[in-house]
Amino acid sequence: MRTLLTIALAASLCFEFHHPVGHSEDPTVTDASNFNVPLKTTHFNQTWTDHLWRDGYRVQQNALTGHWRLIDADSYRRAWGSKQQCVDSLNQKCPKTAQTAGKHHVILLHGLMRTSGSMKALETQLADNGYPHAIRFSYASTRGSIGDHAAALRELLEDLPSEDTFSFVGHSMGNIVVRHLIGDLQTDGDPHQILPRCESMIMLGPPNQGAMIAQRLAPTKVFGWVTGRGGMELGANWKQLAPKLAVPPFPFHIIAGDVTTPVANPLVDGEGDFVVGIEEAKLDGAKSFTTVPVLHSFLMDNADVMEKTIQLLKQEASPSID
């Protein structure tokens, strides 16, 4: 049985684990000065979490070192050091200005052990179909709790102009981050009125009922070491997480993978996408539930899924969207 678990874990991770989780692009901060060399960064590092976003600029924190940086729309580092230093630099380089009309942002959230780069193809398709203001939210999925990621997303949304509106497209764990955010806003209060400005959500392969694969792999210890607190919350610690998750109070749709293969994943119950079972993806209140013959790791890249996602976003769109 232990051999079977090891093989299944390796098979699952080969779909999800594309880039190192323990590498930091920037050196650990030892100097509090504002001196900066504009280094090119990538969207393929799993240790950074966005806290602020403004016209492509991002203020991010490194989950390993705790230090902060400001990167621009072309992914060049423009400042580093403390959070306040980076915010000051952001305000200098991209000051807040009055808007004549609100923008509609589609917030794209990647899954566990992935990066915002995995949502690039969908971002491009959105821009080509009338959604030019998408934001690929980066979060260090294997470092910190789902609640930590939800708090960072909340900070990002609350800093955007009060006229802006939102839709969400999440892949896998990204959906659980949004549900945690909604629960936090409902429990703690929503002074910035984020929820009334949320228009719709499209869930791709969401583990809405937890993930049996995560629960069954937890005893191996390897799973927890690789996926961190967030991965464990989807499995062994699901009962503690579930009460903090809300059902979206706005229209949401679910697209789940249903793949029939000669070799099924023994760690997933019933039919599914090799990682999340169909029953695990379901959530009461969804306006639609669609299955597609696509593996979990490729849902957000699949042409048919992207087309369906855009169709559903337009179906729920307000007439005043910019």
* Chain segment 13-34, per-residue pLDDT in tens: 433 434 344 444 554 444 445 5
How far is it, in rounded angstroms, from Cα 311 to Cα 73? 27
- Residue 210 gets the label, from left (phi > 0), alpha (psi -120 to 50) or beta, of left
- The mean pLDDT of the chain is 88
The span from the CA of 119 to the CA of 312, in Å, is 17
What is the C-alpha to C-alpha distance for residues 232 and 308, in angstroms, rounded to an integer?
31
- Nearest CA among 9, 3, 1, 4 for reference residue 218: 9
Strands 104-109 and 135-137: parallel
CA 181, CA 184: separation in Å to the nearest integer? 5
pTM for the predicted model, two decimal places: 0.88
Close Cβ partners of 78 (under 8 Å, ≥ 6 residues apart): 36, 38, 57, 70, 71, 72, 89, 93
> Which domains are delineated in the chain?
2-29+101-315 (3.40.50.1820)
Say whether 219 sits in a helix, a strand or coil: helix
Output phi, psi for 61, to 5 deg. -115, 140
Q: Token pair of 214, please?
A: 């995560």
Q: Is the dihedral of CA 222, 65, 241, 52 positive or negative?
A: negative
Question: Which token pair is 87?
Answer: 């915010």
With a cut of 50, say whether residue 263 has pLDDT above it: yes
Q: Using the 8-state DSSP alphabet, how is residue 135 labeled?
A: E
Q: What is the pLDDT of residue 97?
A: 82
Check residue 295 and give its pLDDT. Answer: 96
- Predicted confidence (pLDDT) at residue 110 exceeds the cutoff of 90: yes
pLDDT in tens, 136-145: 999 999 999 9
Distance CA 174, CA 290 (A): 18
Average pLDDT over residues 91-102: 84
Averaged pLDDT for residues 52-72: 96
pLDDT of 85 reads 97
CA 287, 292, 297: angle at the middle one, nearest 5? 105
Tell me which DSSP letter residue 43 carries. S
